[in-house]
Structure 1
Amino acid sequence: MDNSKIYKMPFAKVYPLYIQKAERKGRTQKEVDEIIFWLTGYDKYSLFQILSNNSDFDTFFKYAPKINPNAAKIKGIVCGIRVENIEDKLMQHIRFLDKLIDELAKGKSMEKILRE
């Protein structure tokens, strides 16, 4: 499967969709940001830079300060595929983020989402 189209998609294009999905279910942008910070190690300032630079998903994850080691605990299905079985690390990280946002929208507590 050719994932290059997803890898080159600007993160700034998808970020508002994550927020909309969360807000439709009564969650907040702050919670979306907390998930992103937890998964990638970005902070508010560095996330703003990524968004301002219109960086793609490849760049977003390539320059992430640190993928949280507890990300390996993320399990489940996104787009019909088990995230824990995805061999391509970049695609796995993208799907991890999708899965966490899905969990937020489904009403899970932040404690459970962040695997604490």
Structure 2
Amino acid sequence: MPAYVIAHLQDAAPHPDIAEYVERLPATLAPYGGRFLVHATPHEVKEGAWPGAVVMLGFPGIAEARAWWDSPAYQEIAPLRSRHIEGDIILVEGVPDDYSPTGLVQAIRTALP
């Protein structure tokens, strides 16, 4: 099942460390089958507030996403970003192609008083 890394990053001023981070990032993804799905492209907020940028990476599975995050190659460059950009980053497992929310709906209805 695919997995994703989703980052909601707050706006940051340009910095040489950020340029280096972005230059080096693709090489850290390759060994784990990771790829960019969204990379700071414009977004449209429909509800709530979402200042900053969105980055979304795709991986073959959650194990690969975790292995990438924990890898020495990524951990070496992560401070280049984290020193200059605040944000939230999550790893999340996707759903299979034939996913249906029926089971969740049943669980919600069962939990109703």
TM-score, normalised to structure 1, is 0.28
**Which protein is richer in helix relative to its size?**
1
TM-score, normalised to structure 2, is 0.29
Structure having greater relative contact order (Cα 8 Å, sep ≥ 6): 2
**Which protein is richer in strand relative to its size?**
2
Larger Rg: 2
